[in-house]
A and B are shown apart, each in its own frame.
Chain A
Amino acid sequence: MKRALLPVMALLAACAERPGFDLTSPSLDTLGKTLPTGFLFGTATSAHQTEGGNVNDWTDFEQGTYPDGRPHITNGDQSGLADDSWNRFDEDLALMQALGVTAYRFSIEWSRLEPEEGVWNAQAMARYREWAVKLRAAGIEPSVTLFHFSLPRWVAAKGGLERPEVADDFAAYARRVGTELGDVVDFWCPINEINIVAAEGWLVGDFPPGNTGDTATRARVMAILLHAHAKMAKALREVDVVDANGDGKATLITTAHHVRIFQPATHSALDTAIAGLTDDFENEAVPRAFATGHIALTVPGTIDLQEDVPDLKGSIDVLGLNYYTRDIIRADLGSASLSTMHYRAGRPTNDQGWDLYPDGLYILLKRFSAYGWPIYILENGLSDQEGTKRSLFLEQHVAALERAVDEGVDVRGYFHWSLMDNFEFADGFWPRFGLYSVDYANDRKRTATPAVATFKRISQNLR
């Protein structure tokens, strides 16, 4: 009892520090200069959002509608040619070089490589290989994600992510890619945002399969994806035995874990307790599972999933975090998530209304450093069609990261989402996340936003 109450008694004196990075305008003369040697400063994209011409479960979902007649995708958009990056990689590589990136995170489209079960597309594999080789030749470390939300149709038809055996399909896919690309890729992310793909597909309903309010299945999908990750990591380590970047290790395996700040709307016991439970489910459960090999997902009154996952413990070498915003939590015991989430009025926001909260990056870096893994920020960015907010956003978030590093947090990379505007899944093309804007009405012409100069200045400050 006494030990349990000690942190309570400390509450009044030791609340989380909110340094107020959102109130500052960091100097570009010095920003990033204290980051460690070898720090990766890059950009990120994903296959379905940029490549164009993909045929997968999203292709079908994009053509569908909700029961009330609304299209699944805002404005009825379909990914279609997206940014046509499949055919314009050299142009995009030039953009990266102009930015001065030292790393590029992209994903491989499973449906391109294995359009039918067991049928592999050698040409597509060769194209991805060519990208990795060109990146490395340009001094850019390729970071490859194997699953970034889109599944081959044949996987979806077999039951998609609800079928436990899908973990074996994932493992076979990872083994194939690791075998083919292992000599040019070291930095692997098997699955992007385990919590988000399950939330959007089974709670919110704006990802395939479009189910809503099914908290129990959502938790089971997260568990299946953790099983899949463990098997994929094991396969990658078995087949990728070539150290492509000369750091002495053939593989560097991470996950891309989506994290948010969940702040209680008020002091009330309900708001605070449910914010804590939400934080535990969304932020903590996944890294805790990686640390212990045991999944514990609990929603009071709905599910208490407890499961050991073989080979999960030790399956990541570093922790990747995707951070965008802060949610305010108001208790709502009638909803599947037990709360309503909103953004605080009066705050700076992106075009989608998300709170731009750089303090959150600092708080989360300090927090997750407790696990002991080196950390990479694998996504951080904002939708900003006018391009007027991105420079300050970038400066404030890098300042927050740098402060955390100065205070001893082992952060080894930052990837800005995104290199260029792209197909933002359920939101379609309207949210503009790119350092380079894309003119979809004019041959997808790429144009630098003002933040490109900011990114370059910071990149030049890195040792």
Chain B
Amino acid sequence: MLTLLTVLVVNATADERLLTDEVSAGLGVFGSGYSQPGLRLGDANLSPTVTGRVLFSGVTLEGGVLLVAPLTRDGSALAVTGSARVGWTGQRFTVLAGVLGQWGQGANPAWQCLPTVRASVDFGPFGLTLGVFDLLGLVPAHLSFDVSLTRVRFSVGWVAPIGLVGTLDLPVAERFAVRLQAFAYKLAQAEFAQGTVGVVFAPGGLR
């Protein structure tokens, strides 16, 4: 972690790009399951996350780890997801793509791999973000509307086929922000919802 922070700080330049170096950590409560008439078969989970992003000029590396630990007996298994994405960030856009690997305790097969993509374009104070298996794979596909005010950023988006996702970064210091994030969506009979509180550290300062 110390090495990563060193890299982040050294890398923090005046180079203005859409994304900045950052490290974030959060703790969420995540519910997943499916429903039928008379049935809701689901589980509540604790979902801590750690993510990091570093830019080398425009080359962008992003990674993260998500732990989903069941709060209920005998439900879905404990799972760990790792994500690695690489891409390019310019002044007005960013495109990142990579893979997700999820390990499920007792699952057969134990590993599940998926592609993950995130692309954003900025139009000044507003922007759009498209994500596929974004947020460490928790959201299959979303299209979000991003708003940047003075150091305050928020976004709200549509999750396919029916759902919502929202993120709010509230600055609490020069380089720190509190991040609130939530989503809820339905996918066929399946239902998902999460609320997360986290902190963001941006060594070059928050944008």
Bound CA–CA A371/B37 (angstroms): 8
Binding site for A on B (CB under 8 A): 29-45, 68, 72-77, 79, 81, 102, 104, 106-109, 112, 114, 133, 137-140, 162-164, 184-193
Q: How many cross-chain pairs have Cβ atoms below 8 Å apart between A and B?
A: 171
Task: Please name all residues of chain A whose beta carbon is closer than 8 Å to the beta carbon of B38 when the two chains form the complex.
Answer: 366-371
Indicate which residue in B30, B112, B191 contacts A330 across the interface (CB closer than 8 Å): B112
Decide: A268 near B137, CB < 8 A? Known: A11-B40, A12-B44, A280-B188. yes
> Mind listing 10 A-B residue pairs with CB under 8 Å?
A7-B40, A20-B73, A267-B76, A268-B112, A268-B137, A269-B137, A273-B34, A280-B188, A367-B39, A371-B37
Whether B72 contacts A15 by the Cβ 8 Å rule is yes
Binding site for B on A (CB under 8 A): 1, 4-5, 7-12, 14-16, 18, 20, 261, 263-273, 275-277, 279-280, 283-284, 328, 330-332, 340, 342, 344-346, 359, 363, 366-371
Decide: A1 near B104, CB < 8 A? Known: A266-B79, A267-B68, A331-B112. no
Decide: A367 near B37, CB < 8 A? Known: A11-B191, A15-B42, A269-B138. yes
Task: Please name all residues of chain B whose beta carbon is closer than 8 Å to the beta carbon of A276 when the two chains form the complex.
Answer: 34-35, 187-190
Whether A269 contacts B41 by the Cβ 8 Å rule is no
Task: Please name all residues of chain A whose beta carbon is closer than 8 Å to the beta carbon of B43 when the two chains form the complex.
Answer: 15, 267
Task: Please name all residues of chain A whose beta carbon is closer than 8 Å to the beta carbon of B30 when the two chains form the complex.
Answer: 267
Indicate which residue in A1, A12, A330 contacts B162 across the interface (CB closer than 8 Å): A1
Task: Please name all residues of chain B whose beta carbon is closer than 8 Å to the beta carbon of A8 when the two chains form the complex.
Answer: 163, 184-186, 191-193
Whether A264 contacts B76 by the Cβ 8 Å rule is yes
Whether A16 contacts B37 by the Cβ 8 Å rule is no
Indicate which residue in A263, A366, A370 contacts B75 across the interface (CB closer than 8 Å): A263
Bound CA–CA A280/B106 (angstroms): 24
Chain B's closest residue to A288 (CB) is: B37
Q: Which of B34, B81, B104 has the most CB of A within 10 A?
A: B34
Bound CA–CA A14/B32 (angstroms): 11
Indicate which residue in A4, A265, A267, A270 contacts B45 across the interface (CB closer than 8 Å): A267
Determine how close the nearest CB of chain B comes to the CB of A313; give it in whole angstroms: 16
Whether A272 contacts B162 by the Cβ 8 Å rule is no
Determine how close the nearest CB of chain A comes to the CB of B172; give it in whole angstroms: 27
Determine how close the nearest CB of chain B comes to the CB of A409; give it in whole angstroms: 10
Task: Please name all residues of chain B whose beta carbon is closer than 8 Å to the beta carbon of A279 when the two chains form the complex.
Answer: 34, 36, 41, 189
